[in-house]
């Protein structure tokens, strides 16, 4: 019963993210969230030394040719089998996506 509702809200979120040219997200807040929630498995910042083996670092994710912050936020709001399900709001997902996007320099 709940899955279709969640999928619908994800679609609405993705549409909303797509519509905003400035993508008004806060990468600094995203960095805080990433360090708190993602750093146990992913290398989330260049100064980080330890994470799980076989888990892609965020800088590597940002360098993928098909990376976009919109797609990443969409991914974060959708359940993913190998990752714990985070109770991220669409704002938080957008902030983390913007942070990861900012690593692509």
Binding region for ligand HEC (CB under 6 A) out of 1-9, 11-19, 21-29, 81-89: 81-89
Beta-carbon contacts of 58 under 8 Å, excluding residues fewer than 6 positions away, are: 34, 38, 42, 43, 44, 45, 99, 100, 103
User: Rounded distance, CA 43 to CA 40, Å?
Assistant: 8
Beta-carbon contacts of 90 under 8 Å, excluding residues fewer than 6 positions away, are: 13, 16, 17, 73, 77
Binding region for ligand HEC (CB under 6 A) out of 4-12, 21-29, 31-39: 31-39
Interface with ligand HEC, residue 76, by CB under 6 A: yes
The nearer residue to ligand HEC, 1 or 66, going by C-beta atoms, is: 66
Rg (CA), the chain: 14
Window 33-72: residues binding ligand HEC (CB under 6 A): 34, 37-38, 40-42, 55-56, 61, 72
User: Would you tell me which residues interact with ligand HEC (CB under 6 A)?
Assistant: 34, 37-38, 40-42, 55-56, 61, 72, 75-76, 82-84, 86, 96
């Amino acid at each position: 019963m709940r899955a279709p509702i969640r999928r619908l809200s994800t679609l609405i979120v993705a549409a909303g993210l797509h519509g905003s040219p400035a993508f008004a997200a806060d990468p600094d807040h995203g960095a805080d969230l990433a360090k708190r929630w993602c750093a146990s498995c992913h290398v989330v910042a260049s100064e980080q030394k330890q994470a799980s083996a076989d888990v892609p670092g965020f800088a590597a994710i940002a360098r993928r040719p098909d990376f976009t912050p919109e797609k990443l936020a969409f991914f974060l709001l959708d359940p993913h089998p190998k990752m714990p399900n985070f109770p991220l709001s669409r704002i938080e997902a957008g902030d983390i996506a913007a942070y990861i996007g900012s690593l692509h320099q």
